[in-house]
Amino acid sequence: MPARGFGFKTVTGTAQPVFGTTTTTIAVPTPDQYTGRMDSASNRSTVQVTVTDVSYFRKGDRVMLGISDSFLVFPPAGTLPPDSAQVIAIAGSVVTLQGLTRRHEIGEFIVLSIPCARIKIQAGSGNTGELYIGEDPTVSVTSTTLIDQVDPSAGRTFDIGSSASGNVFDTPHFWLLGTAPDTYLPSIILI
C-alpha cells in the first residue's frame, strides 16, 4: 500500500476540501462525437480545466467537481450531485478530465475521489488557530458533521485508519476549516 503526500497546504479561512482545490476556468465537456450526448451511455467527454493547485492530482485519479452544496451530506432539494471524471493528463496548472456530464463554472470545487486505508492531517508548526475536520462544507466548531478538532498547540494530528486493516475512507468526505493563512499537511495511504 503506497503512501501519498501532497505537501503543505494553506488554509483559506472558509470550508475547503482537504484533498481538493477550485477551478479557475469554465469546464465545458465535449459531447459524444457520434450521438451529441454526454450521458453515461455515450462515449466519455474530455475537457481541460485550469485549477488553483494541481498537486492534489495524478494521471489516473478519479475526481469530483461541483459547487459546495453538491458535497453536503444533506444537500438542499434540487442540488445536483458532484460530477465525476478521471484525470487523463496534467500540464502545468491544467488538468484534462474524461467523463464529465455537464458544464462547471469558475470557482467550483475539484476534489480527489479515491478510496484510501488511512488519512492523516497534520497542523503546520506555526499555526495560530485550530483546524476543524468534518464530513462536508458545513464544517465548523458547531457543525453536526464535525469529526475532529486539531489543536496545534497540543501537537495533535488527525489520523484515522490503518494500513494493516480493511478500512476504506473516501477522500471527498473530508473538509477542513481553520484560520488563514495557517497550513496543514495532508497524506493518505492508498488501498
- The verdict on 76 and 53 lying in the same domain is yes
- The verdict on 29 and 102 lying in the same domain is yes
- The verdict on 73 and 129 lying in the same domain is no
What percentage of residues in the chain have a pLDDT greater than 70? 97
Q: Residue 128 is part of a domain; what is its CATH number?
A: 2.60.120
Residue 144: count other Cβ atoms within 10 Å of its Cβ: 11
pLDDT band at 163 (very low <50, low <70, confident <90, very high): low
Domain boundary among 112, 144, 178: 112
Q: Residue 60 is part of a domain; what is its CATH number?
A: 2.40.30
Predicted confidence (pLDDT) at residue 41 exceeds the cutoff of 80: no
Mean pLDDT to the nearest integer, 76-103: 95
pLDDT tens digit sequence for 9-30: 999 999 999 999 999 999 999 8
In our burial notation (b when 16+ CB lie closer than 10 A, e otherwise), range 119-136 reads bbbbbbeebebbbbbbbb
Q: What is the pTM of this model?
A: 0.93
Q: Is residue 98 a contact partner of residue 89, using CB atoms and an 8 Å limit?
A: no
Measured between alpha carbons, how far apart are the two ends of the chain, in Å?
6
- The verdict on 30 and 95 lying in the same domain is yes
- The verdict on 101 and 173 lying in the same domain is no
Domain count, the chain: 2
- The verdict on 24 and 108 lying in the same domain is yes
Is 158 strand, coil or helix?
A: strand
- The verdict on 7 and 41 lying in the same domain is no
Predicted confidence (pLDDT) at residue 39 exceeds the cutoff of 80: no
Q: What is the dihedral of CA 6, 8, 14, 20, to 10 degrees?
A: -10
pLDDT on residue 37: 81
Q: Is residue 87 a contact partner of residue 97, using CB atoms and an 8 Å limit?
A: yes
pLDDT on residue 135: 96
Q: What is the mean pLDDT of the chain?
A: 93
Q: Which residues form the domain of 41?
A: 20-112
Sheet containing 46-50: give its strands across: 20-22, 109-112, 62-66, 83-91, 94-98, 46-50
Q: Is residue 114 a contact partner of residue 62, using CB atoms and an 8 Å limit?
A: yes
- The verdict on 95 and 165 lying in the same domain is no
Domain boundary among 82, 112, 142: 112
- The verdict on 25 and 107 lying in the same domain is yes
Domain boundary among 78, 112, 146: 112
